[in-house]
Structures are given as C-alpha cells and as structure tokens.
Amino acid sequence: MLQKKLVLGSSSPYRKELLQRLGIDFECVSADIDESRLEGETPEKLCVRLACEKALKVKEQVGEAIVIGSDQVAVLGDRILGKPHTRERALEQLFSMQGQTVYFLTALCVISEKGEIFETMVPTVVTMKSLSKKTIEHYLDREQPFNCAGSAKIEKLGIALMKEVRSTDPTALIGLPLIETVNLLAKAGLEVIEGIGEEE
C-alpha cells in the first residue's frame, strides 16, 4: 500500500532529523509566519496557535497531504524566552536561567488530507545548572544556539547546561515530540507501523 503524502512544515534540521527516525518518507516545506505573541496570550496558547498556523500555511501550499507543524517556547517565571537571534540576547537568556526551572512547551499540529486538525502540547521541565559567565560564553561560541528557544540546544552541548530534564517524551525538547507525532499521524490516517493497533 502506498504511503500517504506527508509534509513537515519546517525548515529546522533538528525536526527533520527527528522525523527521519520514524523511517517514513516525507518532504519539508518552510512555514514563514509572524510568530508575535498576541496580547494576553498564554505561553501554552501561543505555541499551539503557532504550530497550527505553520501547518495551515503549508497545507494551503501543498494541498492533498498530511501536514505536521510544530512550535516551541521556553518559559521562565512570567517571561517567554523565544529565539535569541543574537549572541548578546542568548547570553542574557542563559544567565537569567542559571539555577532556575524553565518550562519548554512544544506544540504539535497535524492536519489530515481532508483538513481535519489534531493538536497537542508536550511540556518539558528543565532545571538548569548554575554556571559561570565564562562557561556560558564558551557554550555560545561552540554551539551558536541563536535559533533555539531559550538558547538551549539539548541535542548537542546544551545538555551540559542542565541539571535535570523531566518530560513524557524525550524528543519534545529537541523540537518534535515523536510519541505524540505517531499518535496524531494515526488519527490523520497514517500508521507509522502497519498493524500498530492490532492485538498480539
């Protein structure tokens, strides 16, 4: 049986690498949207809305396909830590996170061929180590995580910044929660493993 057309609405190499782990064919289409926060919008609603807007925009471009959209925000106290984009902002973000608990919220939206929308959000609780400014600067020079929410690149050296990570899905913090991706793809009509719902 031919696999349904699958599109990942992202230009992120990390999300692409994660989805490749499932061993299914897909293509990537960049979703260029305005990621500004709406007035009074909670971090949870923000990341879910952006994930869905990305998926919807790509769905308009590709037509009959299953589309995946994802977004992530980092939350420290009452602050949302987005992508820093510059070294200076990354340094400020990481310095403020030292010894603190940071919540990384990763939203997922899957749209079926028929346009049905399935969405969810996976939280990851991260306790950061207390590190010197010199150590943080060395990390920034090595990894340049300027396009990562909260400047935390856990899939590489960023893991050394963290004291503890708690999540129901170990891939959520990297940017695409694969457990929920498999679940939502099934709802959209694509079983990653044929017969996955059958009893033994």
* For residue 200, pLDDT beyond 90: no
* For residue 199, pLDDT beyond 70: no
Positive or negative, the CA dihedral 43, 49, 53, 56 is positive
- Catalytic entry in 25, 32, 34, 71: 71
pTM confidence score: 0.89
Higher pLDDT, 35 or 126: 126
Examine the residue annotation and report whether 78 is marked as an active-site residue of this protein.
no
**101-117 pLDDT, tens per residue?**
999 999 999 999 999 99
* For residue 141, pLDDT beyond 60: yes
Q: What b/e string do you get for 44-58 counting C-beta neighbours within 10 Å, with b at 16 or more?
A: eebbbbbbbbbbbbb
Res 2: pLDDT: 52
Structural domains for the chain: 6-187 (3.90.950.10)
